[in-house]
Amino acid sequence: MAAVIRAVKTKITQSPSLAARYILHGETVAFPTETVYGLGANVFNEAAVRRIFEAKGRPPDNPLIVHIPSIHLLEQVAKDIPPLAATLIDKFFPGPLTVILPKSDRVPSIVTAGLKTVGVRMPKNPVALQFLRACGVPVAAPSANLSGNPSPTTWQAVRADLDGRIGCILKADPTQVGLESTVVDCTGPWPVVLRAGAVTLEQLRELIQETEVSSPGEADASAPKSPGMKYRHYSPKAKVILCTYPQYTMGVGNSAYIGLIPPAHTDSFTRVLLCQDIDEYARSLYQYFRECDDEGVETIYCQSVREEGLGMALMDRLNRAAHK
Ligand code: TXA
Ligand code: MG
């Protein structure tokens, strides 16, 4: 974990307009979106953006996503919007989709970690939109966790990681999706999914049939298209073990289970969370990881799901957590 650069008193508020004033004063603000909580700063204020990296202990070569409340702000951060990007934006903004576009010269290179491209997203969470409208400037924001921890899906998880390191937390409900946005590179001849999310591959292909998925090899290469994917992510401190057949899975030691169907011996687990469907599984996963860590659970058994629909994003995160 990076050293605390500045100890600050973190304001906790439910007022989007008050939180926006922190942004306009060059501070960092954690705010809800429908995916996970983000840690934002005015995209045009380099010093404020630097504070995001410091507060999270984030490597400087991992670019940030820029958040906008309306399409009118797009031209401030991106240029030469490719037609295929316009198609995706028309269909999925606002929503859990990030498009990678050619960067406008106005965006400082610290935001994009020196890349000539920028990731842009318009969240659909109403509190996020109120906050971003009140800011009036595009807001650069990664997930509001310490680097390496699971993304926060509640304001309390943000406080646990970042209290005293950021200016303000905009307190609202837990996030609805629970996994980060789908990231799609739109700078080539067809869309390439760099990170799976709640906008599914099936939905993307329905719109643009040629949509591809970047192979893991590409994402891990020394010059990956999505630099963030090479970092350890989404992991609890506990060891994560994936199980395809929970009906044969038994807990060993201080262990927990999360999945759709019950494990063999429920009594052998310290905690068990049964989810009704994939949506609930995705929504609950990171919070469950955090609760297990708080309780000193050593091993978390997670049921594998089919890699279709939201299951693709869920399996991506589970695989990363299991192979850290
Ligand atoms: O749902 C989300 O996307 C959340 C909320 C807060 O919007 N944000 C989020 O940000 O998950 P972060 O920083 O944790 O993940 C951003 C991902 C990283 O993998 C990063 O490398 C990739 O997006 N990314 C950002 N800009 C990029 C660019 N110009 N080219 C390629 N990948 C980029
Ligand atoms: Mg993140």
- Over residues 96-109, the pLDDT tens digits come to 999 999 999 999 99
d(CA 78, CA 105): 8
Q: pLDDT of 266-319, one tens digit each?
A: 999 999 999 999 999 999 999 999 999 999 999 999 999 999 999 999 999 999
Ligand index nearest the alpha carbon of residue 192: 1
**What topology is assigned to 11-219 in CATH?**
DHBP synthase (3.90.870)
User: Judging by beta carbons within 10 Å of its beta carbon (0-12, 13-18, 19+), is residue 171 exposed, middle or buried?
Assistant: buried
Q: pLDDT of 182-223, one tens digit each?
A: 999 999 999 999 999 999 999 999 999 999 999 765 444 444
Output b/e per residue, 198-230; b: 16+ Cβ within 10 A.
Answer: bbbbebbeeebeebbbbeeeebeeeebbbbbbb
Q: pLDDT of 233-254, one tens digit each?
A: 668 999 999 999 998 888 889 9
For the Cβ of 147 lying below 6 angstroms from any atom of ligand 1, the answer is no
Ligand 1 test: best mutation among 175, 183, 310, most atoms within 8 Å of CB? 183
pLDDT of residue 248: 86
N-to-C CA span, the chain:
17
For the Cβ of 113 lying below 6 angstroms from any atom of ligand 1, the answer is no
- Whether 227 shows a pLDDT value over 90: the answer reads no
Cis peptide before 59 (omega within 30 of 0): no
- The H or E element spanning position 120 is strand 117-121
Region class of 193: left (phi > 0), else alpha (psi between -120 and 50), else beta = beta
Question: Strand, coil or helix: what is 138?
Answer: coil
Q: Please tell me the distance between residue 256's alpha carbon and the centre of ligand 1 in angstroms.
A: 29
pLDDT of residue 229: 59
Cβ partners under 8 Å of residue 216, min gap 6 = none
For the Cβ of 33 lying below 6 angstroms from any atom of ligand 1, the answer is yes
d(CA 77, CA 75): 5
Question: Identity (one letter) of the amino acid at 143?
Answer: S
d(CA 42, CA 195): 25
Structure tokens at 176: 């609805």
Ligand index nearest the alpha carbon of residue 183: 1
d(CA 155, CA 159): 6
Q: Please tell me the distance between residue 26's alpha carbon and the centre of ligand 1 in angstroms.
A: 21
Ligand 1: residue whose CA is nearest its atom 7: 38
d(CA 256, CA 268): 9
Q: What does pTM read for this prediction? A: 0.94
Per-domain boundaries in the chain: 11-219, 239-322
Please, are residues 229 and 194 in contact by the beta-carbon 8 Å criterion? yes
Ligand 1 test: best mutation among 29, 43, 93, 98, most atoms within 8 Å of CB? 98
Instruction: Given CATH 3.40.640.10, say whether it is the number of domain 239-322.
Output: no
Structure tokens at 118: 């920028």
Question: Strand, coil or helix: what is 230?
Answer: helix
Q: Please tell me the distance between residue 143's alpha carbon and the centre of ligand 2 in angstroms.
A: 4
